[in-house]
Structure 1
Amino acid sequence: MFLLTPYSIPFINLPSVALASLNNLVEMRETGLYLNDLSMHDQSREMVMKGWEHCSRLQITYNKEEQNSARLEDAHRLSEEAKARGDDLLYSMLPREVADKLRQGSHAADTCQNLEEVTVLFAELILSPESEPLSALDLMRTVNGMYKMMDRTTEHYRVFKVETVGGVYMVVGGAPQYREDHCSQVGQLALRMLREVSIAAASHTLRIGMHVGPVAAGVVGVKLPRYCLFGDTVNTASRMQTNGKVGKIHISEKCAEVLQKFHFKVSFREKLNIKGKGEMNTYWLNGENNIAKADTW
């Protein structure tokens, strides 16, 4: 009695090659053996042929499984790439901390919070007079190119781009997670944005306004959820921008006080009558000292 496996075929009545392992007829002929050498009084021949047939089927099944495995790996890779693109898009719309909460099942209302102090920046893109005769499509491409450059600049600092409305670019520092150097981060960003725009297109420039104060923040909307800021701080920062000058960074008195603690260079502008705010002392942000540079990403 013997055990027949798919890859090992024992031959009986052949003392010189007893229990030899042969995989097919070719190997069998190479050893000088033939099916006729097997006993014809039992099922040895049938068992050998069935064993080889079973091995062939196993090989075919194995090859198919390898192909299925390769297709599954490709599908998994494509799925991971699509997930990464989706994550990049989500994190560009919402702060990472907020987006992760929503992905874990939290309601949008749970993301709302009162922040005691943040820095809000508005930067208005001022195009050169040469841009006026451009077609709507060419104008859109020009603005898009400037915004892409500003997006790349923003990524170097610990701030969040809230939105762009028309030609105005909005950024916040210190939200949704508070940072002691939020004003310093936004101040550095404002100075760098002015430099980058002037380098990219000398004929274009920015008019920037900044203010420091409390806000309410959270995700608003279902179809196109956005991380939004509410409060007087947002309005004041917008007033600083609209009452500023081209190529300058106009800041409030509160903002100037905080920036001076980080050794930024500020200068008094004048007392202005700001719509909805009354008279306010306003300042220019002129630069930063080397000893005051905050950490970037």
Structure 2
Amino acid sequence: MTRASDNKLVLIVDDTPTNVGVISGVLKGAYRTKVATNGEKALVLASAAEKPDLILLDVMMPGMDGYEVCRRLKANPVTREIPVIFLTAKTDALDEENGFEVGAVDYIHKPFSGPIVLARVKTQLALQDALAQAREAQNQADELLHALLPKKAADEIRSIGTVIPRRYENVAVLFCDVTNFTSYCDKHEPEDVVSRLDALFVIFERVTARHGLEKIKTIGDGFMAAGGLLHQVDDPIGSAVRCGLEMASTLIDARLGWEVRVGVHAGPVVAGVVGQERYQFDIWGDTVNVASRMSDQSKPGYVAVTKDVWEQVSSSFQAENLGDMEVKGKGTIAVFGIGPQKT
């Protein structure tokens, strides 16, 4: 039966044939080995296509000594992560200190004890496996964090453990929802519903990124994004409108009976992360509420905005008056539907 340790490769670096024979005999059956009789050859083998998992390195060798070999290994990005255990007859504390300073992980004194060599090698390789698993787990956690949160928010959580709530001015908020979605859900299998909605939202995510906006979240059949929030956008409102127009023109299978409605509003928002068991980055404020109401008033192929927003982008777009709307705290406001960009 082949054990997992059989696949590990140990590089033995020693200019004394007797020492090489003893160490090879100790490791035989547990690990694969390669041998270098000088420092130059050791550096070549260490950076080969199949790099060793661990290096047993003699200190006193003609030409390049073990300390210099270790320095060069640790200075090379290709080999710096390979653990090095020094083998030496030097037992002075200063010698050991020098070894650890140049990057060694352990020190074995000559004459060798076979069981000690084997135990030290096994311990270091097990530690490397544990570190590799920890790095992989951290990478997976980072990927999940970046999938859940905007990049800047995810980076802030990694750095200080939280996202500091902040107020942002002049943020363009985009709301997009799908009409007739609820009735579609009632008549189709869950797998079909989720699959089709997921495909649509993937398209929306790509469109959002292309226009420099950031996806904030999805809410049922709704999709919310923002421009000029966590990273600068030269023209947040114009970018949000262009993004919304592309979303509104997204081709949806006519048999689904779906239509996309989009609303955009701009102004100050408060942003932060809520929850502990499950992070949720979100934005709040009157700007968000009005953008949501705009999407309710929109029609297919158009982006609904308030009169104030329309006046800021009127030189770049065409629009039609969609009538007045009652907005809590604001009274009656005029709503405009922005259509395709002027040519």
TM-score (norm 2): 0.60
Amino acid at match of 1:86: A
Partner residue of 1:55 out of 6, 9, 20: 20
Q: 1:81 to 1:122 in 2, by over 3 A?
A: same
Matched, 1:251 2:305: yes
Q: Is the 8 A contact 1:146 1:197 kept in 2?
A: no
Q: Distance in 1 between matches of 2:277 and 2:234?
A: 34
Structure 2's unaligned 5+ residue stretches are 1-14, 35-51, 55-81, 83-124
Q: Is the 8 A contact 2:245 2:302 kept in 1?
A: no
Q: Which residue of 2 is the match for residue 206 of structure 1? A: 260
Q: Is the 8 A contact 1:212 1:255 kept in 2?
A: yes
Q: Deviations over 1:209-249 (max 9, x none)?
A: 11111111112222212221111111111111122224432
Matched, 1:267 2:320: yes
Q: Distance in 1 between matches of 2:130 and 2:342?
A: 53
Matched, 1:123 2:176: yes
Q: Which residue of 1 is the match for residue 59 of structure 2? A: none
SS state at 2:249 partner: helix
Amino acid at match of 1:56: G
SS state at 1:184 partner: helix
Displacement of 1:285: 1.3
Q: Distance in 2 between matches of 1:75 and 1:201?
A: 53
Q: Which residue of 2 is the match for residue 286 of structure 1? A: 339
Q: Distance in 2 between matches of 1:81 and 1:288?
A: 47
Q: Which residue of 2 is the match for residue 180 of structure 1? A: 234
Q: Distance in 2 between matches of 1:268 and 1:113?
A: 35
Q: Distance in 2 between matches of 1:59 and 1:219?
A: 56
Displacement of 1:163: 0.9
Amino acid at match of 2:201: Y
Partner residue of 2:291 out of 237, 250, 275: 237
Displacement of 1:135: 2.4
Q: Which residue of 2 is the match for residue 112 of structure 1? A: 165
Q: 1:112 to 1:201 in 2, by over 3 A?
A: farther
Amino acid at match of 1:101: E
What aligned pairs does 1:3-14 form with structure 2 within 5 A after superposition? 6-7=16-17
Q: Distance in 1 between matches of 2:254 and 2:32?
A: 56
Amino acid at match of 1:97: K
Partner residue of 1:99 out of 150, 154, 165: 154
Q: Which residue of 1 is the match for residue 62 of structure 2? A: none
Q: Distance in 2 between matches of 1:76 and 1:225?
A: 27
Matched, 1:169 2:227: no
Q: Is the 8 A contact 1:120 1:211 kept in 2?
A: yes
Further displaced range: 162-171 or 252-261: 252-261
Matched, 1:219 2:273: yes
Q: 1:100 to 1:201 in 2, by over 3 A?
A: farther
Q: Distance in 1 between matches of 2:221 and 2:234?
A: 30
Q: Distance in 1 between matches of 2:141 and 2:317?
A: 39
Q: Distance in 2 between matches of 1:177 and 1:284?
A: 27
Q: Distance in 1 between matches of 2:293 and 2:222?
A: 12
Amino acid at match of 2:16: P
Q: Deviations over 1:46-68 (max 9, x none)?
A: xxxxx3xx432334559646664
TM-score (norm 1): 0.68
Amino acid at match of 2:303: I
Q: Deviations over 1:246-278 (max 9, x none)?
A: 4432111222122235x1333333223335532
Displacement of 1:146: 1.7
**Number of matched residues?**
238
Q: Which residue of 1 is the match for residue 143 of structure 2? A: 88
Q: Distance in 2 between matches of 1:104 and 1:148?
A: 29
Q: Is the 8 A contact 1:176 1:217 kept in 2?
A: no
Amino acid at match of 1:140: V
Amino acid at match of 1:146: L
Q: 1:195 to 1:211 in 2, by over 3 A?
A: same
Q: 1:119 to 1:78 in 2, by over 3 A?
A: same
Q: Which has the higher contact order (CA 8 A, sep 6+)?
A: 1
Amino acid at match of 1:283: F
Q: Is the 8 A contact 1:119 1:212 kept in 2?
A: yes
User: What is the root-mean-square deviation in Å for CA atoms of aligned residues?
Assistant: 3.2
Displacement of 1:82: 5.0
Q: Distance in 1 between matches of 2:142 and 2:262?
A: 30
Q: Deviations over 1:2-46 (max 9, x none)?
A: xxx634xxxxxxxxxxxxxxxxxxxxxxxxxxxxxxxxxxxxxxx
